[in-house]
Structure 1
Amino acid sequence: MQRSAVVVVADKTSLKRPFIFVNSVHMALCFFMLTMAIAWHRDPIQTGKIVSSVSVMAMLSVIGVIGACRGKRWCLILYASGMAIASQTIIVRTALSYQDVYEKRVAREEAKLLSMMPLSGISKANRTLLYRIQEEFECCGLIEGYKDWGASIPASCNCQYPGKCIRLRGSATLGAPKNQYVYQEPCLPIYVSELKRAFSLVMAIQFGSGVFWMVLLVMSIKLIGQIRRKQEFLALLQSNRYVPGAF
Structure 2
Amino acid sequence: MGKLNIYVKWSYIIVASLLAIVSTVILARTLFYHGYLHKHEEIDKMLPGFIVMYVIFIITLLLPIIGVYGARKEKKWALIVFTVGMILCTLVMLNSERQQLTIRPEIAERVKANYRGFLPLSNASMNDIENLKYIQMELQCCGLDQGYQDWGYNISESCLCLQDSTNPCVEAPKNSSLSHRKHDQPIMIYKEPCLRYLIQLALAAINFVIGIEWGLILIWTLSVVLCIIILCQLRQKEDTPPVVYSAEAKSGNYSILTETADYS
**Is the 2:143–2:194 contact (alpha carbons within 8 Å) kept by the matching residues of 1?**
yes
Moved more, 131-140 or 38-47: 38-47
Deviations 1:85-142, CA, capped at 9 Å, x for gaps: 11123224422x2343223333222101111111121112212221222122111101
Cα deviation, residue 55, structure 1: 0.7
Cα deviation, residue 198, structure 1: 1.6
Pair 40,93 (structure 1): closer, same or farther in 2 beyond 3 Å:
closer
Do residues 28 (structure 1) and 24 (structure 2) align? no
Cα deviation, residue 209, structure 1: 2.2
**Is the 1:13–1:227 contact (alpha carbons within 8 Å) kept by the matching residues of 2?**
no
SS at match of 1:15: helix
Do residues 79 (structure 1) and 82 (structure 2) align? yes
**Is the 1:13–1:226 contact (alpha carbons within 8 Å) kept by the matching residues of 2?**
no
Do residues 70 (structure 1) and 73 (structure 2) align? yes
Pair 223,149 (structure 1): closer, same or farther in 2 beyond 3 Å:
same
Pair 218,114 (structure 1): closer, same or farther in 2 beyond 3 Å:
same
Moved more, 42-51 or 193-202: 42-51
**Is the 2:143–2:151 contact (alpha carbons within 8 Å) kept by the matching residues of 1?**
yes
Other-structure match for 2:198: 191
TM-score by length of 2: 0.76
Other-structure match for 2:188: 181
Letter in 2 for 1:15: V
Unpaired runs of 5+ residues, structure 2, are 38-42, 244-264
Cα distance in 1 between the residues matched to 2:89 and 2:153: 55
Cα distance in 2 between the residues matched to 1:128 and 1:39: 25
**Is the 2:120–2:150 contact (alpha carbons within 8 Å) kept by the matching residues of 1?**
yes
Cα distance in 2 between the residues matched to 1:75 and 1:10: 17
Letter in 1 for 2:72: C
Letter in 1 for 2:230: L
Cα deviation, residue 14, structure 1: 2.4
Where do 1:133-144 residues align within 5 Å? 133-144=135-146
Other-structure match for 2:262: none
Cα distance in 2 between the residues matched to 1:25 and 1:77: 19
SS at match of 1:56: helix
Cα distance in 1 between the residues matched to 2:145 and 2:33: 30
Cα deviation, residue 76, structure 1: 0.5
Do residues 150 (structure 1) and 152 (structure 2) align? yes
* Amino-acid identity (%): 26
Deviations 1:66-85, CA, capped at 9 Å, x for gaps: 11111111100000001111
Structure (1 or 2) with the larger CA radius of gyration: 2
Where do 1:64-143 residues align within 5 Å? 64-95=67-98, 97-143=99-145
Pair 132,107 (structure 1): closer, same or farther in 2 beyond 3 Å:
same
Deviations 1:33-78, CA, capped at 9 Å, x for gaps: 1121122242361333312211111111111111111111110000
Cα distance in 2 between the residues matched to 1:163 and 1:209: 35
Cα distance in 1 between the residues matched to 2:53 and 2:95: 18
Cα distance in 1 between the residues matched to 2:95 and 2:51: 22
**Is the 2:63–2:85 contact (alpha carbons within 8 Å) kept by the matching residues of 1?**
yes
Other-structure match for 1:55: 58
* Aligned pair partner of 1:166 in 164, 170, 178: 170
Higher share of residues assigned helix: 1
Other-structure match for 1:6: none
Cα distance in 2 between the residues matched to 1:127 and 1:139: 14
Letter in 2 for 1:75: A
Cα distance in 2 between the residues matched to 1:101 and 1:72: 43
Aligned length: 226
Unpaired runs of 5+ residues, structure 1, are 1-8
Cα deviation, residue 242, structure 1: 6.3
